[in-house]
Amino acid sequence: MKVTVDTNVLVRIAVLDDLEQARAAARLLREAHVVVVTVACLCEFAWVLGRSYKYGCSDIAQAIRKVVEKPAVKVDRLAVAAGLLMLDLGGDFADGAIACEGRLAGGAVFMTFDKGAMRRLSFLGNAVGRPEAASACEAHPQ
């Protein structure tokens, strides 16, 4: 079986707050031939673990690594690695993953109002900027 999982499947496995659903989710990850986990799903997973379950960055990173290390799991490994780097620096998984996907799609500069994300992404070698600093007349579509 080839499946795509929703965030709640990953959450059940990570937090074990509903043992019946956690067992079913774990069995699915064990038995499926291919388990697609989208970057959007992992961004939501990280957000839920942090906001609803009060996980810290290292615990969120550990939970994501546990999911993506499973042999049947198919993910955008570059975006996941970028998100994990941000978590390792104390930032948000989503900022790293979004910046990576944007770069790969042709976005040269990651624009954000989040100063922490700017600092961390810049540290990692990303070009970053603030939207109010960009001028419409400077925009040159390529």
Q: What is the pLDDT of residue 98?
A: 96
Q: What proportion of the chain, given as a percentage, has pLDDT over 70?
A: 94
Q: Is 30 exposed, middle or buried (0-12, 13-18, 19+ CB in 10 A)?
A: exposed
pLDDT tens-place string over residues 8-24:
999 999 999 999 999 99
Q: How confident is the model at residue 135 (pLDDT cuts 50, 70, 90)?
A: low
Judge whether residue 28 has pLDDT over 90.
Answer: yes
Judge whether residue 140 has pLDDT over 60.
Answer: no
70 DSSP assignment: S
125 phi-psi bin (left φ>0, alpha ψ -120 to 50, beta other): left
Q: What proportion of the chain, given as a percentage, has pLDDT over 90?
A: 91
Judge whether residue 138 has pLDDT over 70.
Answer: no
Q: How big is the chain by its Cα radius of gyration, in Å?
A: 17
All structural domains of the chain with their residue ranges: 1-75, 77-133
Q: What is the pLDDT of residue 142?
A: 46
Average pLDDT over residues 94-108: 95
CB-CB neighbours of 134 under 10 Å = 12
Q: What is the pLDDT of residue 132?
A: 85
Q: What is the pLDDT of residue 141?
A: 46
pLDDT tens-place string over residues 30-64:
999 999 999 999 999 999 999 999 999 999 999 99
Global model pTM greater than 0.95: no
Place of tokens 């499946």: 3
Place of tokens 């990173």: 61
Bridge partners (DSSP) listed for residue 34: 2
- Fold type of domain 1-75: Rossmann fold (3.40.50)
Question: Helix or strand or coil: residue 88?
Answer: helix
Whether 36 contacts 2, CB under 8 Å:
yes
